[in-house]
Structure 1
Amino acid sequence: MNKVMTYRAHFRAIAVLGLPLVGGHLAQFAIGLTDTIMLGWYGIEALAAVTLASSFYFVLFLFGGGFGLAVMPMVATAAAEEDETSIRRSTRMGVWLSLLYAVLVMPLLWWSHPILIAAGQDPQVAETASQYLRVAGWGLFPALVVMVLKSYLAALERTQIVLWITVTAAVVNALTNYALIFGNWGAPELGVMGAAIASVVTQMVSLIAVVIYAVRVLPEHNLFQRFWRPDWEMLYSVLRLGIPIGFTLLAEVSLFAMSAFMMGWIGPVPLAAHGIALNLASATFMVHLGLSNAATIRAGNALGRKDRPHLEKGARAVTVMSLLVSVLTIILFVTCAEPLISIFVEPADPQRPQILAIGTGLLAMAALFQLVDGAQVIALGLLRGLQDAKVPMVMAGLSYWVVGIPASYYFGFIQGMEGIGIWLGLVLGLACAAVLLMARFWTRSVQTVGVPAE
């Protein structure tokens, strides 16, 4: 019989597990934020180009990240069952699939220019963005492997090391950006290309650190011993879970990527304002994402122990924690919009007043979608912990593509609301996902976990 935990114990356990993951996500986010701030200081055109390039890159990265996220619940469940062999097998095949995926999509990053032009982007912005992607794209290989290994460590509740590796990477990124974008400390002034090089350097540092830790601290798993040997059964298991997770991520990130494309149709200044507002909204989303990862791990453990009461109490606790974060974020965005946006724009920039005006309106919309954005990512985390991914994939696709993107276009262009209308579409898509995914978890998925005998 499993010990029944109180809600206070659940809150404490989620915080101990989740806060380092939140910190890790914030540190990872700081890498992109550093690029945005420094490129904003370098020039609005450079910021617009990297905003566009980053949207394109993360569409591909997050789809491939489905394999890393699939490893997390598989390792968590195997750990609860004390199955050391499955821990090794699932992690290793997650790395295999991630590397194979990077090989397949690298041509899209290398030849991104015609894709961006076909998407209706400004020719100069598209040219700069494609140059950035030709360099930054090589970072996809280490980035995806790092995602698998971080998921492996997090599932084993070694979240502190995940935090510190990511913090180290953020520091490396900031220093390299400062040197190569502006030409400081005797380095050449490379602008956008400097940011691209810094991105690759950062991912390689992360990879080296996480591999050293896994090999030295967890030698019993032998992750890289006879690494070249295929394990077709486990590869298929990771693939079967990772593909729908990847498509779910793709659907969501594509919603935001399409919003960036639509803002680009309006002009470079609205696109730059969109990039700033999205970065601020993404910072708070990292908190929800860390809680979602904790939910995945604890749901995976509950699945391994067949402990439904533990699952249900933990799900309620993590949902309440996410709700509290959303309320605090709404207050922050409504009361401090202009000071937050001002961080990203050089005081002497002649386009600063226009950026502030557009960005303030967009941040008000970002405050609106905090509740639904947090709810949908928590629901996804719980569902992934139970390895329920196919139906949530369909729900997410319908929400983001059938509701969100058409609504963004309708309100942004047909109704003439421009940037505000585009973000209203984001709110509607995320709200639809939150309702469907939460309903899926509570009415069906949670019922699949057995109740232990009294």
Structure 2
Amino acid sequence: MPHDNFLHSVRSEIRETFSLSIPLIASQLIYACSGFIGTAMVAHLGQDALAASVLVSMIWMTLTVLFFGILNSISVLVSHQFGAKNYRAISDIMGQAFILGVLLAAVMIILMLGMPIILRYTSQPPAVLALAVQYMHSLIWTIPGLITLIVCEQFLAGVNQAKLVLRISLLVVPIEIPLIYLLIFGKLGLPACGVAGIGYGFATTYSTVAVLLTCYLVKSRYYQSFGILQGCCRIDLTRIMELIRIGLPMGCMHVIEVSTFTFATFWIARFGTTMLAAHQIVMQYLGFAITIVFAMSQAVTVRVGHSVGRQNLTGIRLAIYVGMVLNFICIALVALALNCFPYFFLSLDMDIKNPANALLLRDSAMLLGIGGILMLFDNFRIIGFGALRGLKDTKFPMYASLVSFWIIGLSLAYLFGMVWHFSGKGIWWGLTLGIASGAVIVFIRVQWLLNHVDLAQLMTTGKNMSLASHD
């Protein structure tokens, strides 16, 4: 009964994808809420503190998406070996992953220490710069614990233990938010650190949780079989270079995407504060929705990786298509809600009955509708990237992002918005068409790769992607 076997395989893949993706989605949303609440607290410190936090956040986001993107390679390699049940190889990977984490932490700390020099060229008042330097120095203490936590969470995702990742976030955030509040405003005898309290709160929480989680993974009977720290005593340059070769393009891809929306924000600012405020409101909802897509994309990466380890091409196809369909349904519902009930969502940000907000309400509703369409295309693009990561093809997504965001997206955004004077909606339609082109490019690449991938060579250390043409 081939048909019955196919349906059984699809149901099984849906179940496994949900089991992996839902904890990852919930975890990412919890962390996103933490950042949102932290920014809201800083707003009570005044305009200078808020401006300082924005400056530092832009630098911090650029560095983290680059360096933490490199560490995403851990789940790719671990998932391959987990599917092949090669726990010794996982031990080797994790040992080198921790060594790589130390190297990345050192580079990040050096860059953060040098950033105050760059801040001087932002033409901000001395008071804002002083607060920005304090905030930046406090974030430096966050780096070691956060990188350790990311390495461990990437390992857990690779061995299909995403539920533990969710438990970690449920543990971190309820402690983190009150601690940040106490450190910002100096409550319960703690010093009032102002905006730097965010960094110290993050550092305290992440460092503590990282130590506890690492000890648990080393002592737990189940995780002892993976020996995640056993490989730390020696340096394997081949393995480290493989992690970098797979991860660096992912980090660069994220930088390309973040910088694109930064350019778009600067252009939209030319159309006045109302359009800029509308843009920021829509970016807020887009950020939450894309968080869901990225979490599902990581789930697809891991599911594809498991099938690569089992040398199961049919399983790879199922993981990709089931992930795309499930996430499309989810994002389509979100997009439909944004288009059909925009005023409900906007009422969370402003008083929609106040006549003074009429223009902002109109522009926000317009951009919200375009943002919903953008998310539909971005869903296929990001899930496709997740599939390609699972097949160790990470350079192509970087090039695809370069073409779709910088060449097509920004060009069309500038043409529609600045040359043809369609204002903010022109910028957003240009970005949407750029992302749509990226979705098409990635989908074609996935189809081509499924017909040419050599699964046996893909498991070989040091091979970024191995293809064998089928005549």
Shorter-chain TM band: 0.7 to 0.9
Q: 2:289: which partner in 1?
A: 284
User: Are residue 158 (structure 1) and residue 161 (structure 2) matched?
Assistant: yes
Question: What does 1:288-437 correspond to in 2, within 5 Å?
Answer: 288-341=293-346, 343=348, 359-437=364-442
Any stretches of 5+ residues in structure 1 without a counterpart?
A: none
SS in 2 for 1:227: helix
SS in 2 for 1:230: coil
Superposed CA offset, 1:377-398 (max 9, x none): 1001110011111222211222
Larger Rg: 2
User: Are residue 73 (structure 1) and residue 76 (structure 2) matched?
Assistant: yes
Output the CA distance in 1 between the equivalents of 2:188 and 2:271: 38
Asked whether the 8 Å contact 1:48–1:275 carries over to 2, the reply is no
Output the CA distance in 2 between the equivalents of 1:156 and 1:148: 13
Output the CA distance in 1 between the equivalents of 2:267 and 2:128: 14
Offset at residue 418 of structure 1 (A): 5.0
Offset at residue 406 of structure 1 (A): 3.7
TM-score normalised over the length of structure 1: 0.86
Q: 2:467: which partner in 1?
A: none
Output the CA distance in 1 between the equivalents of 2:350 and 2:443: 39
User: Are residue 219 (structure 1) and residue 252 (structure 2) matched?
Assistant: no
Superposed CA offset, 1:349-380 (max 9, x none): 9x988876665444333222111121111001
Residue 138 of structure 1, aligned match among 138, 141, 164: 141
Question: What does 1:211-250 correspond to in 2, within 5 Å?
Answer: 211-217=214-220, 218-225=223-230, 227-250=232-255
Paired positions, count: 449
Q: 1:438: which partner in 2?
A: 443
User: Are residue 208 (structure 1) and residue 214 (structure 2) matched?
Assistant: no
Output the CA distance in 2 between the equivalents of 1:222 and 1:24: 25
Output the CA distance in 1 between the equivalents of 2:345 and 2:190: 30
SS in 1 for 2:72: helix
Superposed CA offset, 1:292-347 (max 9, x none): 11100110111112211111122111111111111111133234545545545799
Asked whether the 8 Å contact 1:388–1:445 carries over to 2, the reply is no
Output the CA distance in 2 between the equivalents of 1:342 and 1:121: 33
Residue 93 of structure 1, aligned match among 91, 96, 99: 96
Output the CA distance in 1 between the equivalents of 2:455 and 2:7: 15
Asked whether the 8 Å contact 1:142–1:207 carries over to 2, the reply is yes
SS in 2 for 1:6: helix
Asked whether the 8 Å contact 1:67–1:243 carries over to 2, the reply is yes
Q: 2:453: which partner in 1?
A: 448
Deviates more, 1:233-242 or 1:398-407: 398-407
Offset at residue 236 of structure 1 (A): 1.8
Aligned residues with identical type, % of pairs: 25
Q: 1:255: which partner in 2?
A: 260
Q: 1:173: which partner in 2?
A: 176
Output the CA distance in 1 between the equivalents of 2:359 and 2:433: 26
SS in 2 for 1:387: coil
SS in 1 for 2:141: helix
Counterpart amino acid of residue 441 in structure 2: L
Asked whether the 8 Å contact 2:138–2:197 carries over to 1, the reply is no
Output the CA distance in 1 between the equivalents of 2:281 and 2:183: 22
Output the CA distance in 1 between the equivalents of 2:128 and 2:341: 30
Any stretches of 5+ residues in structure 2 without a counterpart?
A: 457-471
Output the CA distance in 1 between the equivalents of 2:319 and 2:178: 40
Q: 2:113: which partner in 1?
A: 110
Output the CA distance in 2 between the equivalents of 1:46 and 1:360: 30
Output the CA distance in 1 between the equivalents of 2:162 and 2:7: 24
Offset at residue 17 of structure 1 (A): 1.5
SS in 2 for 1:221: coil
Q: 2:461: which partner in 1?
A: none
Q: 2:19: which partner in 1?
A: 16
Cα distance 1:335–1:77, how it changes in 2: closer, same or farther (>3 A)?
same
* Higher-RCO chain (CA-CA 8 Å, sequence separation at least 6): 1
Output the CA distance in 2 between the equivalents of 1:346 and 1:130: 35
Output the CA distance in 2 between the equivalents of 1:52 and 1:133: 10
TM-score normalised over the length of structure 2: 0.83
Output the CA distance in 2 between the equivalents of 1:77 and 1:401: 32
Superposed CA offset, 1:232-287 (max 9, x none): 22112212212222222222222234344555677777666544432321112122
Deviates more, 1:262-271 or 1:387-396: 262-271
Offset at residue 11 of structure 1 (A): 1.3
Asked whether the 8 Å contact 2:62–2:258 carries over to 1, the reply is yes
Residue 38 of structure 1, aligned match among 32, 41, 55: 41
Output the CA distance in 2 between the equivalents of 1:288 and 1:149: 21
Counterpart amino acid of residue 113 in structure 2: W
Output the CA distance in 2 between the equivalents of 1:49 and 1:369: 31
Output the CA distance in 2 between the equivalents of 1:258 and 1:425: 12
Cα distance 1:416–1:202, how it changes in 2: closer, same or farther (>3 A)?
farther
Cα distance 1:328–1:293, how it changes in 2: closer, same or farther (>3 A)?
same
Asked whether the 8 Å contact 1:67–1:94 carries over to 2, the reply is no
Offset at residue 190 of structure 1 (A): 4.3
Deviates more, 1:178-187 or 1:67-76: 178-187
Offset at residue 153 of structure 1 (A): 0.7
Q: What is the RMSD computed on CA atoms of the aligned residues?
A: 3.4
Cα distance 1:368–1:3, how it changes in 2: closer, same or farther (>3 A)?
closer
SS in 2 for 1:148: helix
Asked whether the 8 Å contact 2:374–2:432 carries over to 1, the reply is yes
